[in-house]
């Protein structure tokens, strides 16, 4: 059976752990050459080593997505290694939660810088190469909270709503160039960050979700693999909820 991403090169940010790691592993299984990008270069190296040991092809690059010089360097290293960039997965993100009246300017700015400007930085750096080749897939990690809001997350929700908006703009601007832009809005996913939440809260999340379980990082990776494939070539400007039916 032919691998659906054979011959493709994918850049994945925040790929050193959690959802990003699952996306990197899945893309490698589907035949893509993967650039594992993370601010924690040791984590990126570990994921790339895991992919290479399994017979895939991966390169690790340490990069702070808020630093445009580091982003430019990461793109240059990717092109030097593989000669092309077909898929960009904007997955890097952070949280700094607080109620509106308690949130500091630093908390607000740090989340905006990573989750919103970081997505802009990578996409702006990669888009010209995709335009030159007449092909590309841009997929960004949003969140269900970007659709309905969430208590104590003014900054995070603003970034995810912003990602949804930017995705639709890019779908219009880049669609004629052979490039699609879509976003994925995960529900409650059992990442290491979520596992630190008290069990009673996890139970609440589970009960809120119609399929009665938390999502796994692999559930999000499956959606990413689909949107990156030729099977999704007519999907553009979509925000796909992968949440077990939580938001309907």
Domains of the chain are 9-239 (3.40.50.720)
- Position 248 scores a pLDDT of 84
What are the helix (H) ranges across the chain?
A: 18-29, 41-53, 68-82, 105-111, 118-133, 145-148, 154-174, 192-195, 199-208, 217-228
Nearest alpha-carbon partner for 49 in 41, 60, 40, 39: 60
Q: What is the tens place of the pLDDT at every residue in 122-180?
A: 999 999 999 999 999 999 999 999 999 989 999 999 999 999 999 999 999 999 999 99
List the catalytic residues.
156
**Higher pLDDT pick, 247 / 217:** 217
Q: What is the tens place of the pLDDT at every residue in 68-90?
A: 999 999 999 999 999 999 999 99
Is the pLDDT at 12 greater than 80, yes or no?
yes
**pTM score, whole prediction:** 0.97
Is the pLDDT at 57 greater than 80, yes or no?
yes
């Amino acid at each position: 059976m032919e691998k659906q991403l054979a011959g493709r090169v994918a850049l994945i940010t925040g790929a050193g752990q959690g959802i990003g790691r699952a996306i990197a592993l899945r893309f490698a299984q589907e035949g893509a050459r993967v650039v594992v990008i993370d601010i924690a270069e040791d984590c990126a190296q570990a994921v790339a080593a895991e992919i290479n040991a399994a017979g895939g092809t991966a390169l690790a690059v340490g990069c702070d997505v808020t630093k445009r010089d580091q982003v430019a360097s990461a793109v240059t290293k990717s092109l030097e290694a593989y000669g092309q960039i077909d898929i960009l997965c904007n997955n890097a993100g952070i949280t700094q939660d607080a109620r509106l009246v308690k949130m500091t300017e630093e908390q607000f700015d740090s989340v905006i810088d990573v989750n919103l400007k970081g997505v802009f930085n990578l996409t702006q750096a990669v888009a010209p190469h995709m335009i030159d080749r007449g092909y590309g897939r841009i997929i960004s990690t949003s969140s269900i909270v970007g659709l309905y809001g969430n208590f104590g997350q003014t900054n995070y929700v603003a970034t995810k709503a912003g990602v949804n908006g930017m995705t639709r703009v890019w779908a219009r601007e880049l669609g004629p160039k052979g490039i699609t832009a879509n976003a994925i809005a995960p529900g409650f996913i059992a990442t290491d960050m979520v596992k630190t939440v008290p069990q009673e809260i996890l139970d609440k999340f589970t009960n809120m979700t119609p399929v009665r379980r938390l999502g796994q990082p692999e559930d999000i990776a499956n959606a990413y693999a689909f949107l990156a494939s030729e099977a999704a070539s007519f999907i553009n400007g979509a925000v796909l909820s992968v949440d077990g039916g939580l938001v309907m």
